[in-house]
């Protein structure tokens, strides 16, 4: 038995890549839920963004136009969610479910209409994808023992969106805890009546939260289709939006913890792709179905509160009614 093999550099490398969409979606949910709007439509927004980014990238050959299209599609769905849950004070969970189905259906419908390839986009090549970036001195430093390979393989060589996602973590922390907007956003998720009394628009703040959530989900989806993979396939988000929500609860709605939580889930997804490594490390074969289900099982265990109690923002999920 060799447990260290479980942390093979190639596994850790794909951990970073698989954790990226989870991290972006998790931070997206963080903004939304800190603002008091539950969002189980992260999945649908990522899916829509994945399709439109891949579609536009395939048509124009420019991945940046694809990224913008993905963010735009995600923002459209955010607007629907905001309209339903803020303006019309509807049930936020039901709205999220509707958005997930809307994205699942529309992406295949439009993909079939545009490309006629059975609900997928053509494979992206060249400028249609986010190519890996080699960080400076990665080549020269790779000979340095231990740290060299880590720098060259683990830290360097990802697409730009991976670094964007990582930078979003301190960015989110700064916005939430060091700016006036962040203070108000957190307040609106805890006690909207107080924010209203102070003369700040609850509706405006909540729409801002939902909008930021849309942008981050858009980047997450675009990364899925143009960075992690080369094109869109039906239902390619595969529950990532829900795993991101679980990571958010695990992280107790805090940005740095969100990073660690999504890295853990990313690691589970990465190791599930390498049954050979698991068998080599543990000395016995683990059922593939168990490996596939592991992130979801871990989510349930986390939700059950066996790893500490998570207290959501107090006004989360409740529409704000002024005259009460």
> Under the rule (CB under 8 A), what is the footprint of another protein?
40, 80, 83-85, 88-95, 97-102, 104-106, 108-110, 112-113, 119, 239, 242, 245-246, 249, 287, 289-290, 292-293, 296-297, 299-300, 303-305
**Number of continuous H segments (helices) and E segments (strands) in the chain:** 14, 0
User: CA-to-CA distance for 305 and 249, rounded, in angstroms?
Assistant: 10
**Residue (73 or 161) nearer to another protein, CB:** 73
Rounded to a whole number of angstroms, the minimum distance from the CB of residue 127 to another protein is 28
Can you read off the two tokens belonging to residue 283? 């000395």
Rounded to a whole number of angstroms, the minimum distance from the CB of residue 168 to another protein is 23
Rounded to a whole number of angstroms, the minimum distance from the CB of residue 203 to another protein is 14
**Residue (113 or 323) nearer to another protein, CB:** 113
**Residue (279 or 292) nearer to another protein, CB:** 292
**Residue (48 or 162) nearer to another protein, CB:** 48
**Residue (115 or 130) nearer to another protein, CB:** 115
- Check: CB of residue 42 under 8 Å from CB of residue 29: yes
| 3-class SS string, 138-201 | HHHHCCCCCHHHHHHHHHCCECHHHHHHHHHHHHHHHHHHHCHHHHHHHHHHHCHHHHHHCCCC
Residue count of the chain: 324
Rounded to a whole number of angstroms, the minimum distance from the CB of residue 167 to another protein is 28
DSSP secondary structure letters along 213-225: HHHHHHHHHHHII
Rounded to a whole number of angstroms, the minimum distance from the CB of residue 33 to another protein is 12
């Amino acid at each position: 038995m060799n447990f260290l093999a479980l942390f093979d550099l190639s596994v850790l490398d794909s951990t970073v890549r698989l954790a990226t969409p989870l991290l972006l979606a998790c931070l997206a949910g963080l903004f939304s839920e800190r603002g008091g709007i539950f969002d189980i439509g992260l999945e649908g927004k990522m899916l829509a963004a994945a399709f439109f980014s891949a579609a536009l990238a395939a048509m124009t050959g420019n991945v940046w136009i694809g990224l913008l299209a993905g963010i735009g599609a995600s923002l459209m769905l955010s607007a629907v969610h905001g309209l339903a849950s803020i303006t019309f004070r509807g049930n936020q969970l039901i709205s999220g479910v509707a958005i997930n189905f809307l994205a699942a259906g529309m992406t295949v419908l439009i993909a079939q209409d545009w490309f006629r390839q059975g609900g997928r986009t053509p494979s992206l090549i060249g400028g249609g994808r986010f190519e890996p970036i080699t960080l400076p001195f990665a080549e020269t430093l790779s000979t340095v023992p231990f740290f060299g390979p880590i720098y060259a393989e683990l830290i360097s060589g990802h697409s730009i969106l991976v670094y964007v996602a990582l930078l979003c973590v301190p960015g989110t922390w700064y916005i939430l805890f060091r700016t006036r907007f962040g203070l108000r956003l957190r307040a609106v998720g805890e006690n909207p009546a107080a924010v209203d009394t102070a003369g700040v628009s609850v509706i405006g703040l909540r729409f801002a939260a939902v909008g930021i959530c849309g942008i981050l989900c858009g980047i997450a989806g675009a990364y899925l289709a143009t960075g992690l993979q080369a094109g869109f396939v039906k239902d390619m988000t595969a529950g990532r939006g829900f795993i991101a929500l679980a990571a958010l609860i695990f992280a107790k709605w805090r940005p740095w913890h969100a990073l660690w939580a999504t890295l853990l889930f990313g690691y589970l997804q990465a190791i599930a792709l390498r049954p050979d490594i698991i068998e080599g490390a543990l000395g016995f074969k683990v059922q593939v179905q168990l490996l596939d289900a592991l992130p979801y099982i871990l989510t349930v265990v986390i939700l059950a509160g066996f790893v500490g109690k998570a207290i959501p923002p107090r006004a989360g999920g409740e529409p704000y009614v002024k005259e009460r």
